[in-house]
Amino acid sequence: MPMGEKWNAYQPSKSTWLWSCVGAAVLTMVVGFSWGGWVTGSTAVKQAETASEQAAATLAANICVHRFLAAPDASAQLAELKKADSWKRDSFVQDGGWVTFADMKKPVRGAAELCADQLASAELPTASAGALPQTEAVN
C-alpha cells in the first residue's frame, strides 16, 4: 500500500486524539510564555505599577529641573550640586525640597536621582538671570 493511502486510511484512537490535543496545548503555552510575550495577570499588574512609578518619577524630575533652574540662586546651587559626589547629588536635590510638591510628606520616589542626573549635565543660560533653558522641539 502506498504512503498516501496509508495516511488516508489511518484512524487515530480517542487516547491518541486526547494526548495530541494535550501536547499541542502544552507546546502552545510553552512557546507563548517563553517567546510570545505572554504574562500572567499578576505580572502584568506589577509591570503596570512599575511603569506608572517610573512615569511619575520622570515627570517629577522634569518639574524639579525647571524649579531648580528658575530659583534666584540657581547658579550657586548648580555649582554646589556639581561639586558634590555623584552619589550625594540626589540627597542634595531632595534636601533642597525641589522634588517635594504641595501636600506631599515625602518626595516622589526616584525623582531626586533623575533630577540630579539631569542637573549635573545642565548649563545655566547666560542671556538673562532666572531664565529657563530653551529645549528643542522634537518632531
Rounded alpha-carbon distances, angstroms, from residue 48 to 45, 54, 78, 114: 5, 10, 35, 20
Mean pLDDT of the chain: 87
**Res 44 pLDDT > 90:** yes
pTM of the model as a whole: 0.66
**Res 122 pLDDT > 90:** no
Residue 126 has what pLDDT? Answer: 60
Mean pLDDT in residue range 7-26: 93
Kindly report, residue by residue over 51-64, the tens digit of the pLDDT.
Answer: 999 999 999 999 99
